[in-house]
Amino acid sequence: MRQRRVHRKLTVLDLFCGCGGFSLGFSRAGFQIVGGIEIDPTAYETHSAHFPPLVAPGKPHDIRLLDTVRVTRPIESLYPVNQVAIDVIIGGPPCQPFTRVGRAKLREVAGSVRAHIEDKRVPLFTHFLRFVADLRPLAFVMENVHHLASFAGRNIAEEVAASAEDLGYEVRYAILNSVWYGVPQMRERLFIIGIDARLGLTPAFPKRTQAIDLPVGYTTSRSGRPDYIPVLGRSPHYVGEIQVEKELQPAIAVEEALRDLPVLTAHLNDPRARKGARKFDGRLCYRPVKPSPYALEMKEWPGFEANGVIADHVIRYTPRDYETFRRMEPGDQYPEAYAVAERRFEEALASMRPRPKPGTKMYVDLRAAIVPPYDPRKFPNKWRKMEPDQPSRTIPAHIGKDSYSHNHFHSFPARSISVREVGRVRQNTLAFTTA
């Protein structure tokens, strides 16, 4: 460790690296990212563009087929014999089988109640452990959803901790919420930290810096209660109470995070808006308002400076729902949105002479043009209008396919949030938590 501190940065290999959120956080904290392992071509290309790989370069990789020795061979010659080339291993194995929504979707698609248990992505965490066992880094950090600690009768987080302890690591895991650390989003993740026991260090988790009363439904809303263990069984590796700073700052609200972004209204009048999403090649200027400290940090992030203009501030065009979005109140979810759409439909019927009769083509077409087809009794949080004075609720990974789950808190734009707004609120979560 002394030699590393004197001569160079600690090296990091990111497994299941995705587009690089975890890598970004470690890079910001002073580590050197030497490579990422990722099977998705687009995500791997993005990661490689920002973190040119010295390890496992050239193409996406299926971690199940990789030999750990061959992965690190390109940089082994740079270090003396008997010194590890990789100091830290990080990564978040796929979480889809473990999440509540993911489990339900897998069961629905496969028509089997065991679909999530039998999903081929469940055992991928063992390959994370394989890399740790073979490369023997000084430390590792694994990230996943908190359901990892209670999955089909198993506490996989405890299994990982116990296995790593057998390999000679001191291990702890905890459930953290990104909103505690200055991210304008309530997002829970389970982190497992292991440190080589020979270093004599016990893994610790960062103190909470932001104050918030989390709503019901978040596991971390009960964090700190000594009698509450949100994992399957008690464990000496689990840290259930996260310490807090002496002086907590208010949580970052979405209006504070987004106020300097351009106002989008063209979708309300542009007939071309009905043909689908806009392209990502447009450039817009920021609003002439003083950005919040959070927004300023986003715009001045080293290596990703905004330089006065932004891209990707685009939305889905959904003309059917603009007026529904407008009439929703902040905090309203899909049942309220559905009720608004029903009232709009009744208003439209009342204005027509003669009034279309149920079952006729005119009646069916009019209803389809106003009322969304989703059952309001299922997934009530499928839609939600954001509250300007609160952090965002958790933004799902499928925002690119849905996006209704987070509608803009101002009524006059009458739209779901943009790709850029999602980035402001969500995609710096791992970077902030690790940095």
- What is the three-class DSSP state of 88? strand
Pairing of strands 284-285, 188-196: unpaired
Give the amino acid at 134. Answer: D
Rounded Cα distance between 422 and 404, Å, is 12
**Are 84 and 137 a contacting pair, CB within 8 Å?**
yes
**Are 277 and 317 a contacting pair, CB within 8 Å?**
yes
**Are 418 and 315 a contacting pair, CB within 8 Å?**
yes
Peptide bond into 354 cis (omega under 30): yes
Pairing of strands 32-37, 11-15: parallel
Rounded Cα distance between 407 and 386, Å, is 6
Rounded Cα distance between 422 and 338, Å, is 24
Helical packing angle, 125-135 and 156-166, nearest 10°: 10
90, 88, 73, 87: which is closest to 3 by C-alpha? 87
In 51-124, which residue ranges form alpha helices assigned H by DSSP? Answer: 68-76, 100-110, 115-118
Supply 88's token pair.
């830290």
Is 95 in the active site? yes
| Residue found under tokens 């002073």 | 30
- Phi and psi of 430, rounded to 5°? -65, -35
Q: Which residues pair with 88 in a beta bridge?
A: 12, 139
DSSP annotation of 373: -
| Residue found under tokens 């933004």 | 395
Rounded Cα distance between 23 and 45, Å, is 14
Helical packing angle, 334-350 and 361-370, nearest 10°: 140
Supply the residues annotated as catalytic: 95
